Amino acid sequence: MEHPIAVIDFGSQYTQLIVRRIRELGYFSKLYQPEELRETGEPAAVILSGGPRSTLEADAPDIDFDYLVSMGVPVLGVCYGMQLLNRKFGGEVAPGNTREYGPATLLAEKSIEGIFNDLEGHSQIWMSHSDTVSELPEGCQVMGTNLDGIPVALKWNDRFFGIQFHPEVSHTHEGQKILQNFLEMGVNLPKFKIASFKDELVQRVRDEVGERKVVCGVSGGVDSSVLAALIHESGVDSRNIFVDTGLLRKDEAEEVASLFGEVGIEIETIDASEKFLSALKGVTEPEEKRRIIGRLFVDVFFDAVGEDVEMLAQGTLYPDVIESATSGSIASTIKTHHNRVDRIMEMKAEGRVLEPLDELFKDEVRELGRVLGLPERVVGRHPFPGPGLAVRCPGEITEEKLKIIREADDIFIGLLREKHWYDSVWQAYAALIPTKTVGVKGDERSYEYALSIRAVTSEDAMTAEWVHLPYELLGEISNRILNEVDGVNRVLYDISTKPPASIEWE
């Protein structure tokens, strides 16, 4: 897609959200590093993100200001971006007395046309900065202040604007309206709709694959399912491999086979459960378990498809690209040297790795799946970790523990669906606590495992809040698990946020 709205990344933890918010408004946006400004082509607009550094530092991130001016498009500086622009226009920035972090109130100047048009008035905004604008350049207008009268929004001319707060976070109540107002100053805004973008992706697959055969690893999760459906839609020669690691949820292998059969996509199932459980016997250290699972998965996969793979498809998403990671890929869990992983990287360098979802966010992949005709039970599915139930089974992994987790998880997720909570939760699961506690079952004392259930909401897995499930539902979940799952005599509800906790246990 040509001429995206360019977001320049100065390192803010919220930068990805700017891109997402713009896409939610129906426009196409991409992230670039400051040194890539000239590579943005002819963007409809440019946004300079916030960042953790100070513009006063000698080696602070910079921008080619003369080129930015010559582009002739609207420019919005956010936090660090605003301070940088103020200095470029001849103003000054000074260290603040204290770091300002959290909610504040925006008092917008009604008399100045621009990004605050049609706001409601006293609007909540979200601050995260330490420096502040100390001197304004000639001709600069203050578009808004906080309750203390300190400028938090500037207008240097009809194309350059700056705000000291983050419009992209939900805590800024009218952030989307501010972004919409800014973008409407541009021309030829690149529209973005998944339904029309699908055809572009299908053509991309055809062009990249050509006459070669592409191999795709499927798991039943959202990313790999949408990837397989897209490749199938493109009509290229493909082969889909599903590896049963023995670390899947209850009846998952059968459900995956049924799903792909329902949509007319052929898959090959490799039952390697004994290999994985044997390799994990006696291992308790979390990272070592991940290494074993990752390395063995790659070996099993390539043993099935052979060494002469013409092209490999991976479900890499845009956040993976931004973070220079491959969390959607076959090699994602490998943390140590491995010959076959090296070969995957060589294939990528040779143009033999297909990653057609690498410009999409998770919610966009879900929507693409719907457009491709995948059922809602797939596209609306909660995330599931690559190492499977291994991350929900602290300590040594055994068949007994896995059975407990599977049965408890099946009850938990089943009740969330039955009570219409599943779609309101970003991720939910049951995890075994690696300790046994004293309980009473019948007329006898028991000494069995404790189990934790967890349900969180999140946008991008960077942060997460626990879900306030009704007490009655929690009680029913606990009662059913205790009555129906052998080996458990205590159920706990995990109410930890991320941070400081992670979403998964390991």
Indicate which residue of 79, 140, 216, 393 is catalytic.
Answer: 79
Give 290's contacts (C-beta < 8 A, 6+ positions apart).
333, 335, 387, 390, 391
**Lookup: tokens for 226:** 């949408």
* CB-CB contact of 246 with 272 (8 Å): yes
Q: Which residues pair with 76 in a beta bridge?
A: 47, 161
Query: Could you count the other beta carbons within 10 Å of the beta carbon of residue 68?
Result: 19
| Amino acid making up residue 473 | L
Handedness of CA 38, 40, 44, 45 (dihedral sign): negative
**CA dist., res. 491 & res. 322, Å (int):** 39
Active site residue 166: yes
Please identify which of the residues 100, 129, 140, 168 carries the catalytic annotation.
Answer: 168
Specify burial of residue 130 (Cβ count, 10 A radius: 0-12, 13-18, 19+).
Answer: middle
Cβ–Cβ under 8 Å, residues 175 and 132: no
- Which position among 100, 129, 166, 208 bears the catalytic label? 166
Identify each DSSP E strand in 347-464 by its residue range: 353-354, 427-441, 444-457
For the chain, give the number of residues: 506
Catalytic-residue membership of 168: yes
What SS3 string covers 435-453? EEEEEEECCEEEEEEEEEE
| DSSP result, 207-251 | HHHTTS-EEEEE-SSHHHHHHHHHHHHHT--EEEEEEE-S-S-TT
CA distances for 226 relative to 46, 180, 381, angstroms: 31, 30, 12
Rounded-to-10 torsion of CA 418, 419, 420, 421: -110
Q: Phi, psi (5° rounding) for residue 98?
A: -140, 160
506 Cβ contact list (under 8 Å, min separation 6):
286, 289, 390, 391, 392, 393, 394
- CA trace torsion 180, 181, 186, 187 (10° rounding): 70
How far is it, in rounded angstroms, from Cα 130 to Cα 183?
27
Q: Return the H-helix or E-strand segment holding 466.
A: strand 465-466
Annotated active-site residue 307? The verdict is no
Spatial separation of the C-alpha atoms in residues 281 and 115, rounded to whole Å: 60
Identify the CA nearest to 480 among candidates 429, 400, 399, 414. Answer: 414
Query: What residues are labeled active site?
Result: 79, 166, 168
